A and B are shown apart, each in its own frame.
Chain A
C-alpha cells in the first residue's frame, strides 16, 4: 500500500498478527474471562477485561459462511472472481479468501489459515486452504 515510492506506515498490532499467521504461528487475544478477540485490543470487546494474553490459534477451523465475489473493489480487480469466507476457529472467527473452487467449499468445510499476497496490488491477504 505504498504510493509514489514513499515508505508506508503500518498498522501496529494487525501487521504483527498477519506476520504471525504467515509464519504458521497464528494467535488470538484471550481475556481473563475466556473471551477471544483479534488484535489490536486494549480491552476485551465482550467484557472490558484489560487482562489479555496472546493464545495460539487452533490449527484448523470450519467455514461458517462464504460467497463467491464476482464484482470486486478496484484493489481486487485482478483477483476476482474469488471465494471469501468467515471461518470459525472456536474462540474467534476470521475472514479471508478460500483457495478452492466454490464447488469445493461448503459450510463446515475444514480449512487451515495462511497468508498470500493479492494479484492486483501484492497486498497481504489472509487465505484458507481446505484440508
Chain B
C-alpha cells in the first residue's frame, strides 16, 4: 500500500468576508497549499472539495468544477457534503485513493461562505444538518441540539457551565498568535459565564462563530514526494469514519458520541497507534461540550471524565495533551466545509515546526484530527505522524 504524505497546506484568514465568493476563498487557500507543496499544477490529478450550505448561502450547487477552476487545475473535481465534516470526508476519500495507487497528487480542501447570511438565516441553514421532520420542525436549532447533549451530560456525569467556560478560555488563548484565526484575543471565565444564553446551558461564548474561510492540503504519494525531492515531512498514517442515527432522539445516549469513538478506533488501528501515543490534537469544538465529547471518544479520557480536562490544565498548551492549539473552531472559526482540512493544515504545521504554537509541542510526533458532522451522526478521524528520516 502506498503511503500518503501531506506536501502542502493553505488557509485563508478565517473570519468575516461577506463579500468574498467561495470560489475566491478557495482559490487563495488552494494556491497557498500548492505553492507550499511545490508541486506542478498539471500534476494534480483530482480536487476533493468539501462544502455544506452552498445552495443556501450562494445559490450554488455543483461546486467541484468551480473549485478546480479556481485553482487553475484541469482535473476531475467532486464536492463532498457531510455537514461540518464535509472536508474531513473528502480528505478520507483522497487518502484512500492515494493509498490505492489511484493518484499521486490530489488537492483536498473545503470552503464555506456564511456571513453574507443574517444570524437568523445562518441559524436556519445550520439547522439542516439535523433531522428536518423530527428535529427542525420541533424548533431544534444547532446550538439547541448540543445544549440537549450538554444537559444530558451534566445529568449523567456531572459538570458545570464553569467547566465548559474553561474550554472556551483555553481555545481563545491558543488563537492569540494565530494570524489565520477569527478571534485573536483572550477571554475570561467570568465573561464566558456572563455572555447571553443561546440555548441553556450553552451561552454565546460556548459557541463557535459564524465564519467565512477556506482551507486546502496537497496529498502526494511517498514515491512522488521522493521522486520530486519534496519537503513533505508529515504522513497521514490513519483514517477512520463512524456513523450514527441522524436524530438525537434515535440515539441510545445523547451524552456520548459513539460515531467518533468508532472513527478513532479505526484510525488508531490503521496507524498502529493508541490514544496514549498522541502528542497533540485538533478536535471539533463547535460548542464547548463538543470538545468534551471528542476527548472522551478519542480515548484520551474515560466517559464522564473529559469535562474537567481544560480546567485542570491537561489540554491547555502547557498541559500533557495540548488540544486545539490553533484556537479550535471556537476561536479560529468554523467555516463549516473548510473545517476538516483546516484542522489537518494546522496539525501539519504544528508537526513540521512552523506553526506559531509549535514551541508548545517541540517533541510532538503524532497528531490527531477529529471532525464531526451534525450532532456527530458523522465523524472522521485522521492520524498524522512526523516522518522520521
Contacts and interface: CB of A to CB of B under 8 A. Distances in A.
Given A45-B245, A95-B140, A74 B121 contact: yes
28 contacts: A45-B250, A64-B152, A65-B152, A65-B155, A65-B248, A69-B144, A70-B199, A70-B200, A71-B141, A71-B199, A73-B120, A73-B136, A74-B120, A79-B139, A84-B139, A85-B148, A86-B254, A93-B249, A94-B134, A94-B249, A95-B134, A95-B248, A102-B200, A107-B151, A107-B152, A123-B137, A124-B137, A125-B138
Contacts of B137: 123-126
Nearest to A85: B148
B248 A67 contact: no
Identify the 4 closest CB pairs spanning chains A and B, nearest first.
A67-B147, A93-B249, A65-B152, A73-B124
Contacts of A118: 139
Contacts of A38: 134
B24 interface: no
A84 B127 contact: no
A68 B139 CA distance: 11
Interface in A60-94: 64-77, 79, 82, 84-86, 92-94
Interface of B: 119-121, 123-124, 127, 133-141, 143-144, 147-152, 155, 196-202, 245, 247-250, 254
Contact of A84 (B124, B148, B201): B148
A7 interface: no
Nearest to B252: A93
B139 A82 contact: yes
A75 B197 CA distance: 19
Given A70-B198, A86-B148, A94-B134, 17 more contacts: A65-B151, A67-B200, A68-B199, A69-B199, A70-B200, A75-B124, A76-B139, A77-B120, A82-B139, A84-B144, A85-B148, A95-B249, A97-B138, A107-B152, A123-B137, A125-B138, A126-B137
Contacts of A45: 245, 250
Given A74-B124, A86-B248, A95-B134, A66 B151 contact: yes
Contacts of A96: 138
Contacts of B152: 64-65, 107
Given A67-B148, A71-B199, A73-B141, A11 B133 contact: yes
For chain B, what secondary structure do more than half of its interface residues adopt (helix, strand, loop), or is it mixed? helix
Contacts of A74: 120-121, 123-124
> How extensive is the interface on chain A, given as a class?
35 or more
Contacts of B148: 65-67, 84-86
Contact of B249 (A73, A86, A102): A86
A14 B124 contact: no
Contacts of B150: 67
Contacts of B245: 45
Contacts of B134: 38, 94-95
A21 to B, nearest CB: 12
Contacts of A92: 249
B198 to A, nearest CB: 5
A113 to B, nearest CB: 11
A64 B250 contact: no
A65 B254 CA distance: 8
A69 B141 CA distance: 8
B197 A14 contact: no
B128 to A, nearest CB: 10
A82 B147 CA distance: 13
A76 B136 CA distance: 10
Nearest to A13: B133
A37 B131 CA distance: 14
Contact of A67 (B120, B136, B144, B247): B144
> Which among B121, B124, B144, B150 has the highest number of chain A CB atoms within 10 Å?
B144
Contacts of B121: 74
Contacts of A93: 249-250
Contacts of B124: 73-75
Interface string A31-57: 000000110000001000000000000
